[in-house]
Structure 1
Amino acid sequence: MSSISKNSLKSSLLQLECHFTWTLLKQDVDLEEREETIGDQIDFLVKSNITNYNLLSYICYLKNSNEEALLNLQKAEEEAKKYHPDEIARRSLVTWGNYAWIYYHMEKYKEAQTYVSEVENCCKNLSSTAQFKIQLPEIYAEQGWALLKFGRKYYDRAKDCFENALKNEPNNPEFNAGYAITMHRLEGFSLRQYEDACPSLEPLKRAVELNPMDTYMVGLLALKLQASNQADEGERYIEEAMRKTPDTPFFLRYAAKFYRKKGELDKALEILKRALALTPKSAFLHHQLGLCYKAKLIELKKTRYPPQEEVDELIQLAIFHLKTVTEQKSKFFSAHNDLADMYAEAKMYEEAEETFQKAFQINTLFYDDKQEFYHRYGNFQRFHMKSYSEAIRYYLEGLKIEKNSYGKNRCRKALKQMLEQRIKRGLGNAADFGTLGLVHNLNGEKHEAIKCYEKAVALNPDNEEYLSELCQLRLSISS
Structure 2
Amino acid sequence: MCSVHWLNQPGMGNNAPGTHSTTIEKSLESRLQQLKCHFTWNLITGDESLDEFEDRVFNKDEFQNSECKATMCNIQAYVNHLRGQNKAALKCLEDAECFIQQQYPDQAEIRSLVTWGNYAWVYYHMGQFSKAQAYLDKVRGVCEKFSSPYRIESPELDCEEGWARLKCTQNQNERVKVCFEKALEKDPKNPEFTSGWAIACYRLDYWPARQDSIDSLKGALRLSPNNSYLKVLLALKLEMEDENQAWELVEEAIRKAPGETDVLLSAAKFYYKTHNADRAIQLLTKALEYLPNNAYAHYHIGCCYRSKVLGMVHRRETAFNGNQMRFQKLIQLAVDHLRKAEEIKEFLEHSCSYLAGLYAMTNKYEEANYYFQKEFKKDLSPGLKQLLHLQYGNFQLFQMKCEDKAIHHFMEGVKIRQETKPKGKMINKLQRIALRRLSEDEFDSEALCILEFLRELNEEGEQAAKEAERGLDAEKAAPSASLHENGDE
What TM-score, normalized by structure 1, do the two folds share? 0.77
User: Which range is displaced more, 257-266 or 110-119?
Assistant: 257-266
- Following superposition, the deviation at residue 162 of structure 1 comes to 3.0
Q: 1:116 to 1:392 in 2, by over 3 A?
A: farther
The residue number in structure 2 matching 1:68 is: 88
Which residue number in structure 2 is paired with residue 365 of structure 1? none
**Partner amino acid, structure 1, of 2:222:** E
Question: CA 1:245 to 1:473, structure 2 compared with 1: closer, same or farther past 3 Å?
Answer: closer
**Residues 1:336 and 1:64: Cα distance change in structure 2 (over 3 Å):** farther
Question: Tell me, what secondary structure is at the counterpart of 1:64?
Answer: coil
Structure 2 counterparts to residues 18-29 of structure 1, below 5 A = 18-25=37-44, 27=49, 29=52
The aligned amino acid for 2:333 is L
Which of residues 234, 242, 247 is equivalent to 1:230? 242
Partner AA of 2:198 in structure 1: A
CA distance in 1, matches of 2:32, 2:73: 20
Deviation at 1:284, TM superposition (A): 3.5
Asked if the contact 1:57–1:73 (Cα under 8 Å) also holds between the matched residues in 2, the reply is yes
Please give the per-residue CA displacement for 1:80-136, whole angstroms capped at 9, x wherever unaligned.
2222222221001100010001101111010001111211221111x21x2211122
Q: Partners of 2:353 and 2:115 in 1: how far apart? A: 39
Question: Do residues 184 (structure 1) and 202 (structure 2) align?
Answer: yes
2:33 aligns to what? Answer: 14
Q: Letter of the aligned partner of 2:303 in structure 1?
A: L
Q: Deviations over 1:246-296 (max 9, x none)?
A: 343322222222222222222322232233224323333222211110111
Residues 18 and 98 in structure 1, CA contact (< 8 A), matched pair in contact too: yes
Aligned to 1:149: 167
8 Å Cα contact 2:171/2:207 also seen in 1: no
Displacement of 1:34 in angstroms is 4.0
Distance 1:35 1:473 in 2: 44
* Further displaced range: 411-420 or 261-270: 411-420
User: Is the CA contact 1:290–1:321 (under 8 Å) kept in the aligned structure 2?
Assistant: yes
Deviation at 1:379, TM superposition (A): 3.1
Contact persistence 1:66–1:102 (CA under 8 A):
yes
* Segment of structure 1 superposing worse, 113-122 or 174-183: 174-183
Which residue of 1 is the match for residue 21 of structure 2?
2
Show the counterpart of 1:459.
none
Task: Tell me the CA shift for residue 159 of structure 1.
Answer: 3.4
Residue number in structure 2 paired with 1:170: 188
Q: Offset at 1:206? A: 2.6
2:226 to 190, 213, 221: 213
Match of 1:377 among 383, 388, 392: 388
**Retained in 2: the 8 A contact 1:176–1:207?**
yes
Among 47, 50, 58, the residue aligned to 2:70: 50
Distance 1:39 1:70 in 2: 26
Q: Distance in 2 between matches of 1:423 and 1:397?
A: 17
Please identify, of 299-308 and 47-56, the stretch whose mean Cα deviation from structure 2 is larger.
Answer: 299-308
Whether 1:295 aligns to 2:295 is no
Question: Which letter does structure 2 place at the counterpart of 1:317?
Answer: L
The aligned amino acid for 1:252 is L
1-structure distance, mates of 2:255, 2:306: 29
The percent identity for this pair of structures is 31
Deviates more, 1:468-477 or 1:88-97: 468-477
Q: Which residue of 1 aligns with 2:283?
A: 271
Which 10-residue stretch deviates more, 82-91 or 18-27? 18-27
Match in the other structure for 1:431: 453
With over 3 angstroms needed to count, the CA separation of the structure-2 counterparts of 1:297 and 1:423, relative to structure 1, is: same
> Is contact 2:414–2:426 with CA below 8 Å preserved after alignment?
no
Asked if 1:333 is matched to 2:352, the reply is no
Say whether the 8 Å CA contact 1:137–1:168 is kept in structure 2: yes
Residue equivalent to 2:446: none
Say if 1:233 and 1:391 are closer, same or farther in 2 by CA, change over 3 A: farther
Quote the Cα distance in structure 1 between the aligned partners of 2:92 and 2:465.
Answer: 65
Shift of 1:321: 1.6
Stretch deviating more after TM superposition (160-169 or 326-335): 326-335
Q: 1:149 to 1:396 in 2, by over 3 A?
A: farther
Paired residues of 1:31 and 1:63 also in contact (CA < 8 A):
no
Which 10-residue stretch deviates more, 97-106 or 370-379? 370-379
The question of whether the paired residues in 2 share the 8 Å contact of 1:20 and 1:101 is answered with: yes
CA RMSD of aligned residues (A): 3.4
Counterpart-to-counterpart distance in 2, 1:39 and 1:259: 15
Give yes or no for the alignment of 1:393 onto 2:412.
Answer: yes
Could you say if the C-alpha distance between residues 322 and 185 of structure 1 is closer, same or farther in structure 2, counting changes exceeding 3 Å?
Answer: farther
Match for 1:432: what amino acid?
L
Which moved further from structure 2: 155-164 or 56-65?
Answer: 155-164
- How far, CA to CA, are the matches of 2:331 and 2:396 in structure 1? 19
1:286 aligns with 2:306: no
The secondary structure found in structure 2 opposite 1:188 is coil
Q: Is the 8 A contact 1:340 1:355 kept in 2?
A: no
Change (3 A) 1:140 1:350: farther
- Partners of 1:80 and 1:92 within 8 A in 2: yes
- Picking from 79, 88, 96, the partner of 2:116 is 96
Q: Which deviations, in whole Å up to 9, do the C-alpha atoms of 1:366-391 show, x marking residues without a partner?
A: xxx72452243233233223424434
Distance 1:112 1:170, change over 3 A: same
Counterpart position of 1:447: none
Q: 1:474 to 1:243 in 2, by over 3 A?
A: closer
Alpha-carbon distance in structure 2 between the residues aligned to 1:186 and 1:343: 38
Unaligned runs of 5+ in 1: 361-368, 400-410, 438-452, 454-464
Q: Identify unmatched segments of 5+ residues in structure 2.
A: 1-19, 398-405, 436-449, 475-489
Identify the structure with the greater helix proportion. 1
Q: Deviation per CA, 1:141-181: give whole Å up to 9, x if none.
A: 22222223334244444333333333333333323333333
The count of aligned residue pairs is 422
CA contact (8 A) 2:413 2:423 kept: no
**Do 1:33 and 1:329's aligned partners in 2 also have CA atoms closer than 8 Å?**
no
Deviation of 1:413 (Å): 2.1
Q: Secondary structure at the match of 1:429?
A: helix
Q: Distance in 1 between matches of 2:262 and 2:466?
A: 58
* 1:216–1:434 distance in 2 versus 1, CA, 3 Å: farther
Amino acid at match of 1:112: A
Structure 1 SS opposite 2:127: coil
Aligned amino acid, residue 267 of structure 1: R
1:344 CA drift (Å): 5.4
Structure-2 change in CA distance of 1:38 and 1:106 (3 Å): farther
Residues 387, 422 of structure 2: 8 Å contact kept = no
| Structure 1 position 303, deviation (Å) | 3.7
> C-alpha separation between the residues in 1 aligned to 2:192 and 2:469?
58
